[in-house]
Amino acid sequence: MAGPAATLEPSSSHERLPGAPVLEMRDIARAFGSTQALDGVSLSLFPGEIHALLGENGAGKSTLIKIMTGVQQPDRGEMRIDGRPVRVSSSQDGQRLGVAAIYQEPMIFPDLSVAENIFIGHRDRGVRVDHGKTQREAEAVLARLGVSLDVGEPARGLTLAQQQTVEIAKAISLKVRVLIMDEPTASLSAHEVRQLFRIVAALKAEGVAILFISHRMEEVFEIADRVTILRDGRWISTSPRGELTPAAAIRGMVGREVVELFKRERTAPGAVRLAVRDLHKEGVFSGVSFEVRAGEVLGFAGLVGARRTDVGLALFGVAPAERGSVELDGAPISVRSPQEATRLGIAYSTEDRRQLGLVMPLSITANITLPSLERYLGAFGLVRRSAERETANSFRDRLRIRAPSVETPAAALSGGNQQKVVLSKWLETKPKVLILDEPTRGIDVGAKVEVHQLIDELAAQGMAIIMISSDLPEVLAMSDRILVMREGRQVAIIDHADASQERVLGAAMGQGGDLLADEPGVDLIAGTAAAATLDLLASGEVDPELLLRDPAAPPADGDRA
Amino acid sequence: MSADIRRRLIGWEGLLLVFLVVVLGFNMATNPRYLEIGNQVNLFTLGIEKSIVILVMAFVIMTGEIDLSVASMMGLAAAVVAALFEQGVPMEIAVLVALAVGLGFGLINGFFVAIVGIPSLAVTLAGYIGFRGLARLLVEDRSVGSFPDWFTALGQDGLLGPITGPMLLYLVMAILAVTIMHFTGFGRSTIVIGNSVSVARFSGVRVARVKIAIFAASGLIAALAGVLIAARLGAVRASTADGFELDIITVVLLGGVSIFGGSGTMIGVLLSSILVLNLRNGLVIAGITGNTQTGIIGLLLILSVLVPNLVGAGRERFRRRAADRAAPPPGTSGEGVSVRPSGG
Amino acid sequence: MDALLRRFRPEQLRELILLLVIVGMVVFFATQIDQYLAARPVNRITTGLAITAVVAVGQVLVVLTRNIDLSVGSSVGLVAYVVGTLLTRWTEMPPLVAVGLSVGIGVLLGAINGLLVAYGRVPSIIATLGTLALYRVVLVEFSGAKTVTTADLPDWLNDIPSANVASFEGYDLRVMVAVALVAVIIGQLMLRYLSFGRRLYAIGSNPDAARVSGLPARRDVFLAFTLCGALAGLAGFMFLVRFGNITVTAAQGLELQVVAAVVVGGVAIAGGSGSMVGAFMGVLLIEILQQSLLRWAEISEFVKDAILGLLILLAVATDTVVLGRLRERWVRIRRRDQEERLAAAPGEAADVR
Nearest CB among B1, B185, B332 relative to A87 is that of B332
Does the pLDDT at position A144 exceed 70? yes
Q: Does B88 touch chain A (CB under 8 A)?
A: no
**pLDDT top residue among A524 and A141:** A141
pLDDT in tens, B248-292: 999 999 998 988 899 899 999 999 999 999 888 888 878 887 778
Q: Which chain B residue has the Cα nearest residue A370? A: B203
Interface of A with C in 233-292 (CB under 8 A): none
> What average pLDDT does range A36-40 have in this prediction?
87
Q: What pLDDT was estimated at residue A259?
A: 59
Strand partners, A24: A44, A80
Q: Does residue A117 lie within any of the structural domains?
A: no
What residues of C are in the B interface, CB distance below 8 Å?
68, 116, 120-123, 125-127, 129-134, 136-138, 140-141, 248, 256, 259-260, 263, 269-270, 300, 302-310, 312-313, 316-317, 320-321
Q: What pLDDT was estimated at residue A3?
A: 39
Residue B73: name the closest of B115, B123, B119, B111 by CA: B123
Q: What pLDDT was estimated at residue A560?
A: 33
How many of the other CB atoms lie within 10 Å of CB of C186? Answer: 12
Q: Does A86 touch chain B (CB under 8 A)?
A: yes
- For residue A291, give the DSSP letter: E
Residues from chain B contacting residue A382 (CB–CB below 8 Å): 179, 183-184
Packed helices C39-64 and C254-264: angle between N→C axes, nearest 10 degrees? 80
Domain of A44, CATH number, reads 3.40.50.300
Q: Does residue A491 lie within any of the structural domains?
A: yes
Contact A77 B330 (CB under 8 A): yes
> What average pLDDT does range C51-56 have in this prediction?
96
Strand bridging mode A272-281 / A285-293? antiparallel
pLDDT in tens, C69-104: 999 999 999 999 999 999 988 888 899 999 999 999
Q: Which of B68, B105, B137 to mutate to test the interface with C (most CBs of C within 10 A)?
A: B137
Q: What pLDDT was estimated at residue A14?
A: 41
Contact A357 B184 (CB under 8 A): no
Rounded Cα–Cα distance for residues B272 and B58 (Å): 12
pLDDT in tens, B71-117: 999 999 999 999 999 999 999 999 999 999 999 999 999 999 999 98
pLDDT in tens, B23-34: 888 888 888 888
Interface of B with A in 256-275 (CB under 8 A): 262-263
Q: Does residue A122 lie within any of the structural domains?
A: no
| Domain identity same for A104 and A178 | yes
Residues from chain C contacting residue A125 (CB–CB below 8 Å): 195
Confidence at A389, pLDDT banded by 50, 70, 90: very high
Q: What pLDDT was estimated at residue B321?
A: 55
Q: What pLDDT was estimated at residue B44?
A: 85
Q: Where are the domains of chain B?
A: 2-23+48-309
Residue A185: name the closest of A206, A162, A161 by CA: A161
Does the pLDDT at position A550 exceed 60? no
Strand bridging mode A35-45 / A99-102? unpaired
| Domain identity same for A390 and A413 | yes
Confidence at A523, pLDDT banded by 50, 70, 90: very low
| Domain identity same for A463 and A487 | yes
Residues from chain A contacting residue C270 (CB–CB below 8 Å): none
**pLDDT top residue among C162 and A203:** A203
Please tell me the total number of residues recorded for chain B in this structure: 344
Rounded Cα–Cα distance for residues C227 and C58 (Å): 6
Q: What pLDDT was estimated at residue A303?
A: 80
| Domain identity same for A455 and A340 | yes
User: Which fold is adopted by the domain B2-23+48-309?
Assistant: ABC transporter involved in vitamin B12 uptake, BtuC (1.10.3470)
Domains of chain C (ranges, CATH numbers): 2-341 (1.10.3470)
Q: Does residue A508 lie within any of the structural domains?
A: yes
Nearest CB among A47, A359, A385 relative to B343 is that of A47
pLDDT in tens, B130-188: 999 999 999 988 899 889 999 998 888 877 777 888 999 999 999 999 999 999 999 99
CB A357 within 8 A of CB A422: yes
The last residue of one of the domains, among A254, A270, A289, is A254
Q: What proportion of chain B, given as a percentage, has pLDDT over 90?
A: 52
Q: Does B190 touch chain A (CB under 8 A)?
A: no
Distance in Å, alpha carbon of A97 to nearest chain C alpha carbon: 14
Rounded Cα–Cα distance for residues A116 and A366 (Å): 48
| Domain identity same for A167 and A231 | yes
Confidence at A544, pLDDT banded by 50, 70, 90: very low
Contact C272 A110 (CB under 8 A): yes
Q: Does residue A278 lie within any of the structural domains?
A: yes
Does the pLDDT at position A533 exceed 50? no
Confidence at B218, pLDDT banded by 50, 70, 90: very high
Residues from chain B contacting residue C250 (CB–CB below 8 Å): none
Q: Does residue A140 lie within any of the structural domains?
A: no
Q: How many domains is chain A built from?
A: 3
The last residue of one of the domains, among A424, A452, A469, is A424
| Domain identity same for A335 and A459 | yes
- Provide the residue type at A128 as one letter: R
Nearest CB among B205, B262, B342 relative to A176 is that of B342
**Of A213-217, B144-148, B227-231, which range is least confident?**
A213-217
DSSP assignment of A151-215 equals: TTSBGGG--HHHHHHHHHHHHHHTT-SEEEEESTTTT--HHHHHHHHHHHHHHHHTT-EEEEE-S
Does the pLDDT at position A141 exceed 50? yes
Question: What range defines the domain where residue A370 resides?
Answer: 354-424
Q: Does residue A115 lie within any of the structural domains?
A: no
| Domain identity same for A72 and A35 | yes
pLDDT in tens, A217-243: 888 888 999 999 998 889 999 999 889
The last residue of one of the domains, among A254, A269, A297, is A254
How many of the other CB atoms lie within 10 Å of CB of C347? Answer: 6
Q: Does residue A401 lie within any of the structural domains?
A: yes
Q: Which of A375, A382, A385 to mutate to test the interface with B (most CBs of B within 10 A)?
A: A382
Q: What pLDDT was estimated at residue A143?
A: 87
Q: What pLDDT was estimated at residue A502?
A: 85
**pLDDT top residue among A262 and C151:** C151
Contact B203 A348 (CB under 8 A): no
Q: Would you call A481 exposed, middle or buried from its count of C-beta atoms within 10 A (0-12, 13-18, 19+)?
A: buried
Q: Which of B188, B191, B206, B257 to mutate to test the interface with A (most CBs of A within 10 A)?
A: B188
Confidence at B51, pLDDT banded by 50, 70, 90: very high
* Contacting residues for A308 by C-beta, under 8 A, at least 6 apart: A300, A301, A302, A437, A468, A485
Q: Which of C59, C69, C124, C129 to mutate to test the interface with B (most CBs of B within 10 A)?
A: C129
- Whether the complex's predicted ipTM is more than 0.95 is answered with no
How many of the other CB atoms lie within 10 Å of CB of C55? Answer: 34
Confidence at B317, pLDDT banded by 50, 70, 90: low
Confidence at B243, pLDDT banded by 50, 70, 90: confident
Distance in Å, alpha carbon of B122 to nearest chain A alpha carbon: 21
**Of A101-110, B214-223, C201-210, which range is least confident?**
A101-110
Interface of A with B in 399-458 (CB under 8 A): 405, 407-409, 425
Does the pLDDT at position C252 exceed 90? no
